[in-house]
Structure 1
Amino acid sequence: MTVWDVRPVDKQDEKFLENRDLTAAACGEVGWHYRVYGGGSSVRRDNLRWLTAYRRQMPWYPNAKEELLGICREPRATVGAVLDADHGAGHLVSAMWHYAWTGAVVIDLNQPIDRSTPVRELQESL
């Protein structure tokens, strides 16, 4: 069991640090782990916020998934390759964002996403 405390680094004041130490000690007494998450970068936050719009399964996603994953299996596959294969229809692009949300497609969310951003299939999704 892990208890997470979420507080941006710039808001971790003295009171928070005192409570952190008490909570960590209490967790240790019962054999639990205690972690503090100070937040990610603004780029990661913005990318995750973008992906939340695609968290719900749409009816065309299962049909688009195999084509999308085929593109992602290509060496040096990129977001641009998915955009080009979509031909403006939107089914592959929205499926890419959805499967990035679910983790079936891997995109580095710590970097700004553009056409040159690599995409790959998560190997466990096979």
Structure 2
Amino acid sequence: MTPRQLPVNITDQTRVLINFDGDDQNVAGDAALADVPVERAQPLREFFAWKHKRNYEGYWYSTTVGAHVRFESLLERQFLLSADFNPSIVAISAQPLGLLWPANTTTETTNGRPRALRSHVPDFFCRHADGEATLVDVRRPDHANDPHFRLTAELCAEVGWHYTVFTGLRSPTAETLDWLAGYRMDRFAPAPGVRDPLIAIFDTETSLRPGVHAASRTTGLARDVVLGNVLHLLFHGELHFDPLLPLTMESTIRRHQEVSP
């Protein structure tokens, strides 16, 4: 993606540029921003592709929003996967706003010289079920100290948003979710009359293999169909497993999520 030419902020206050259906809104970066439905904003970047381009970009079908969401790297795709897996997130927008830093905002470079900081476009905005919001930047761990991130964190603290820099999922969680995401689509969801008895099998935690066998006997469905149903429910948080451990047929599955003491 290539960023739009963002306007220069000549004031002494951070301004925020948001695009709603082609209509740019330039608003103050203060507490009033918390009431703006940023999850409905259109991306502030446009796709450009050329031969031998190094980064991988595309669209992730988000079951959270029921639509495709843009990403401009595989790391961003991984964030969208993790956001889909997070049941607290109910809306996601990509490249949602432009932060226009106050005039004369600078940072010190490695050689001690000042460098002007003019603007920053965070990667994602997430709305949570409780109404809270999170602004997200996605970077590799060795690029997670960008000076824009400090300024973005300060703005979010003033507005009342959460802020995070996503640097990637650890193994084996990354591999497990990447595989489990293949079952996130509605075609793997259990039928209405099957859902409740299937979930009830895991009221008492049990390993995946015997749980699937028991659910197959209870519902009369083939085991491979039931397995797809269970994996769908695992991805969407209706059944639970330990994501810090590899997911296998011997993994413990439960209906209710464990609560840390």
Secondary structure of the corresponding residue to residue 247 of structure 2: coil
The amino acid across from 2:241 in the alignment is: I
More strand by percentage: 2
**Greater relative contact order (Cα 8 A, min sep 6): structure 1 or 2?**
1
Q: How does 1:19-34 map to 2 (within 5 A)?
A: 19-34=148-163
The aligned counterpart of 1:120 is 254
The amino acid across from 2:134 in the alignment is: T
Q: How does 1:56-75 map to 2 (within 5 A)?
A: 56-58=185-187, 61-62=190-191, 63-74=193-204
Q: Kindly state the Cα deviation for residue 29 of structure 1 after the two structures are TM-superposed.
A: 3.3
Matched, 1:36 2:172: no
The aligned counterpart of 1:9 is 141
Deviation readout 1:71-109 (Å, 9 max, x if unpaired): 2113x4111213433485312100010001111010112
Q: How does 1:94-113 map to 2 (within 5 A)?
A: 94-113=228-247
Secondary structure of the corresponding residue to residue 36 of structure 1: strand
The amino acid across from 1:45 in the alignment is: A
Give aligned pairs, total: 119
More helix by percentage: 1
The correspondence for 1:92, drawn from 216, 226, 229, is: 226
Q: CA RMSD in A?
A: 2.4
Runs of 4+ in 1 over 4 A off after TM superposition: none
Change (3 A) 1:112 1:23: same
The amino acid across from 1:47 in the alignment is: T
Q: Kindly state the Cα deviation for residue 25 of structure 1 after the two structures are TM-superposed.
A: 1.9
Change (3 A) 1:59 1:39: closer
Change (3 A) 1:122 1:28: same
Q: Report which of the two structures shows the higher radius of gyration computed on alpha carbons.
A: 2
In structure 1, how many angstroms separate the alpha carbons of the residues matched to 2:239 and 2:256? 6
Q: What is the aligned-residue identity percentage?
A: 27
The aligned counterpart of 1:79 is 208
Secondary structure of the corresponding residue to residue 61 of structure 1: coil
Secondary structure of the corresponding residue to residue 177 of structure 2: helix
Q: Is the 8 A contact 1:106 1:121 kept in 2?
A: yes
In structure 1, how many angstroms separate the alpha carbons of the residues matched to 2:164 and 2:245? 25
Change (3 A) 1:45 1:60: closer
In structure 1, how many angstroms separate the alpha carbons of the residues matched to 2:194 and 2:239? 13
TM (normalized to structure 1)?
Answer: 0.77
Q: Is the 8 A contact 1:44 1:111 kept in 2?
A: yes
The runs of 5 or more residues in structure 1 that have no matched partner are: none
Q: Is the 8 A contact 1:82 1:93 kept in 2?
A: no
Q: Is the 8 A contact 1:64 1:92 kept in 2?
A: no
Q: Is the 8 A contact 1:71 1:81 kept in 2?
A: no
The aligned counterpart of 1:53 is 182
